[in-house]
Structure 1
Amino acid sequence: MLKLILVGIILLLTLEADNKEALEAFKKSDYVRAFELYEKSAKEGDTTAQSALSYLYANGLGVEKNIDKSIYWLQKAAYGNNSAAQYDLGMIYLGGNNVKKDTKKAFEYLSKSSEQNNSNAQYNLALMYYNGDGVDANVTKCVELLERAASAGHQKAEQNVGRIYMQLLKFEEASKWLEKNAKDGDESAYYLLAELYCQLEEFDKAKKWAQKAIDIGDKEAEILYKEYKLEKY
């Protein structure tokens, strides 16, 4: 048993070394050398190398462009539970890029990647749930995935999660994210925060955000300001 473990460790170290050398070759635009090294590791089962090989085939770098082989190696990496490959393959099927568009397969691969906390997969899977694309529409599931992605720092998820919470009338959750959006410079969050705080009857906060929205020319904010008589607060 000890011998088998040592062999496994040596193999892993070799693969890592090959990948490092391959990456250096790629950075130097020595694509032929990069291809040789990645191909060697890919055939030995390294999913990172398989994903890299897919990229090289897709772009004709160091090898003649071959979309079929690109998809083949990407599938190998995805089947090997490589999260990035699962995401890439999911997006390929979602957009129908060089394959027949298949939202069911897209959902399958993005789900696998999402389960491994790939925030890009979580974001795009959330959109699929929101639009009912390849899966039954489920806004609750959408916002759960958006929050996970947003909590990991995914910018687009951060920008949208508060807005979806608003649709679900979950104002406390929405306020946290919309306040962050506003702090980060998203001026479109000003009116939403004003509306949200009116719903929560926190009119002093509503006045603050309505005024910010008015200052940038938001006509809806002017109507809201008058409707709730925010000048009193």
Structure 2
Amino acid sequence: MFKFIMVWFLMLLNLEANTDEALKAFKNKDYATAFKLYEKSALNGDAKAQSALSYLCANGLGTKQNSAKSIEWLEKSANNGNATAQYDLGMFYLTGNHVQKDNKKAFELLSASSNQNNHDAQYNLALMYYNGSGTDLNISKSAELLDSAANGGHVIAQQNVGRVYMHLLNFDKAAEWFEKSAAAGDESSYYALAEIYTQVEKFKEAKIWAQKAIKSGNKEAELLYKKYELEKY
């Protein structure tokens, strides 16, 4: 028994060494070496290596481009519990990209990824619950997942939560969420914040965000700036 454990442990160390070396080779753009090393680990069931191999096959790096082989490795990785692979494959089934569109399979895969706290999966799963796509319509579950994704830093989810609060006329909470998405570099949030602060007559703050929005090329922000004569503040 002890001998078996030691053999398994040494095999795991070897897999980790292979993937570490593969990542180095990938970063150095030595894709042929990266492919060989990832393949060795992937054939031994390493989910991360399987996902990496899927990427290399999809893009023809270190091997001939092969979409079918890419999907095959992605499925293996997803079945072995890799959250990123589950998300990617789920989105393929949701959009019908590279595979036949299947909302139920998409829902299953995105649920598995979401359960591992993948915020992209949580956001898209929230939309599926909201639209009743691949599952029964469930607004409360949609809101729960949207909130989870937003709290995890998903920028579009943060925007959507902000918009919900705007519709509820809770401008303080709306501003809180849009400031998070703005801090992440989302330029569309600049205008939303300018709009919110004009609504609550905080014109100095509105001016700051309107100017940011104008610099990013937002024409509506220019109109808002003139309408409220923000140059005065």
TM-score normalised by the shorter chain: which range applies?
Answer: 0.7 to 0.9
1:80 is matched with which residue?
80
Match of 1:63 in 2: 63
Counterpart check, 1:179 vs 2:176? yes
* Aligned twin of 1:188: 192
List aligned pairs for 1:149-160, cutoff 5 A. 149-160=149-160
The structure 2 residue matched to 1:208, chosen from 202, 211, 215, is 202
Name the count of aligned residue pairs. Answer: 207
The secondary structure found in structure 2 opposite 1:76 is helix
1:104 Cα deviation after fit = 1.4
Instruction: State TM-score, norm by structure 2.
Output: 0.77
Q: Deviations over 1:93-139 (max 9, x none)?
A: 11211111112111111110000000111111112222333223333
Preserved contact between residue 48 and residue 77 of structure 2 (Cα < 8 Å)? yes
Cα distance per residue 1:158-181 (max 9 Å; x no partner): 1112323555x4x66x74353241
SS of 1:7 mapped into structure 2: helix
Tell me the distance in 1 between the aligned counterparts of 2:103 and 2:113: 15
Partner of 1:36: 36
Q: 1:193 to 1:117 in 2, by over 3 A?
A: farther
Flag the 1:165–1:110 CA change in 2: closer, same or farther, 3 A: farther
Aligned partner of residue 191 in structure 2, secondary structure: coil
Report the TM-score, using the length of structure 1 for normalisation: 0.77
CA shift, 1:150, in A, is 1.4
Distance 2:95 2:19 in 1: 30
**Contact between 2:51 and 2:73, CA under 8 Å: does it hold in 1?**
yes
Q: Match of 2:158, SS?
A: helix
Between the two proteins, what is the percent identity of the paired residues?
54
- Separation of aligned partners in 1, 2:129 and 2:198: 28
- The answer to whether the 8 A contact 2:198-2:206 is kept is no
The residue identity in structure 2 corresponding to 1:207 is E
Asked if the contact 2:196/2:206 (under 8 Å) is kept, the reply is: no
CA contact (8 A) 1:35 1:53 kept: yes
* CA contact 1:87–1:121 (8 Å) conserved in 2: yes
Identify unmatched segments of 5+ residues in structure 2.
Answer: 183-188, 211-220, 229-233
Query: What letter is aligned with 2:29?
Result: S
Gaps of 5+ in 1: 196-205, 223-233
